[in-house]
Amino acid sequence: MMALTHIVVSATATSLLLSTANPALIAIGGIAGLLPDVDISTSWAGRILPWVSHWLERRFPHRSCTHSLFASGVVAVVTYSIVFLLEGRFLLLAHAFNIGFFFGWLLDMFSKSGVEMFWPSTERYVCPGNRKFRLKTGSPAESIVFIMLTVLAITVFNINDSGGMMKQFNRLMATPTGVMEIYNQSGSTHVIFVHIKGVRSGDRSPIDGDFRIVEAKGQDFIVQSTSGEIYKVGTDAEAQIIADQITADVKGTAITNLEQLTIDDEALPSVLDKFKRPGSTVFLTGQLTIDDAQGVNYTSDPYQFPIIKVSKASVGSTNSGSITLEAAPLPTVLEYFHDQYITGQLQLRIINETLTTGNT
């Protein structure tokens, strides 16, 4: 086979099996696909490593010991031993190298002479069985196969660059399960947006728009619209949006941190103002006691997720009460409770993000 055919096949196999579009890994896999041909001095590998090539060429037929499971075993022992000595570093590089090497010699099984797969046995293995359909190096048939393989390679690289085959399948099926898989995989390091087609559970009005996932809630999601409203997307009685189709896109990087706060009779702004940072979005969950529940003017929207619940109950001569927060945006909490003294526990979901314009 031509060297370029070896490179394309091994690079494609590396990208596909490792589900990666990393150029370094793909390049290592492609280059490793040339190494089995080090047993002949006219090959690319033979010209780069002439001392190895001449030694092998004098002792072994072409496509024998270097084109075998034995050779792949030796390469695996050497590469993974190095990884072990380096305490696990460069493991993916070792994977790429071994995949590329294996598919490099396996490809030659489709040539006229085949390979000695089970060397030191000299029996040659070829595919297909009919000699007329085997490929001759540099023939027009190989050129056609090379073009087809190149198209396949480009397709695989693009799929992996967009998140992998499973993500594309989930996007095609447009199911919550697919979105959950993407969120579990990338939700802690990226902003996840979903496109939802469905209806409001309250009045059955149509929904067709983009929302950012705030957090998962069981098998459902709490999401925020582009204008700031919070909704629960699901199928149970508490959901505000019932999705017929839902697909996810991984956007810019975003590191999500959870922080716990214990508050003891402190002014709300003095506790929370420090979390108003550029590039950060903060959502609050918890239960708090407030000193003046009667003075709270907040009214929830029945078509949105109840991010704030206020319980107003006079106790003796006081007007204290409680508020329950769930995925409540920090600016909303500060707007309605800026003059309150509070006591209780809060969990802060802090999303430090850098959005990009394109999908990853």
The string of DSSP codes covering 152-221 is HHHHHHHHHHTT-HHHHHHHHHT-HHHHHHHHHHHTTTEEEEEEEEEEETTT--EEEEEEEEEEEETTEE
- Could you give the 3-state DSSP secondary structure of residue 143? helix
- Is residue 317 predicted with pLDDT exceeding 70? no
The string of pLDDT tens digits covering residues 23-58 is 888 899 999 999 999 998 888 888 988 999 899 988
pLDDT at 315: 52
Q: Using CA atoms, how far apart are residues 193 and 199, in angstroms rounded to an integer?
A: 18
Give the model confidence (pLDDT) of 67-88 as tens digits: 999 999 999 999 999 988 987 7
Helix (H, G, I), strand (E, B) or coil at 296: coil
Res 165: pLDDT: 54
Q: What is the mean pLDDT of the chain?
A: 83
pLDDT tens profile 108-154? 888 878 899 999 898 888 876 666 656 666 667 666 776 777 777 67
pLDDT, tens digit, 9 for 90 and up, residues 184-195: 888 888 888 988
Q: Which helix (H) or strand (E) holds 273?
A: none
The Cα–Cα gap between 85 and 233 comes to 49
Whether residue 223 is predicted with pLDDT greater than 90 in this model: the reply is: yes
At 75 the pLDDT is 95
- pLDDT, residue 358, reads 39
Residue 298 pLDDT: 84
Q: How many CA atoms lie within 13 A of 134 on its CB side?
A: 19
Q: Is 286 a residue whose pLDDT tops 70?
A: yes
Q: How far apart are CA 197 and CA 176, in angstroms?
A: 12
pLDDT for residue 356 = 42
More confident residue, 273 or 171: 273
Ranges for all domains in the chain classified under CATH 2.30.30.690: 167-252
- Over residues 144-181, the pLDDT tens digits come to 776 777 777 677 766 665 555 555 555 554 467 778 87
Find the mean pLDDT for residues 210-229: 91
Region 96-108: mean pLDDT is 92
| Rounded percentage of the chain residues whose pLDDT exceeds 70 | 85
Helix (H, G, I), strand (E, B) or coil at 329: strand
* 165 token code pair: 């085959």
pLDDT of 63 higher than 70: yes
The pLDDT of residue 333: 92
Q: Determine the topology of domain 167-252 in CATH.
A: SH3 type barrels. (2.30.30)
According to the model, what pLDDT value does residue 287 have? 92
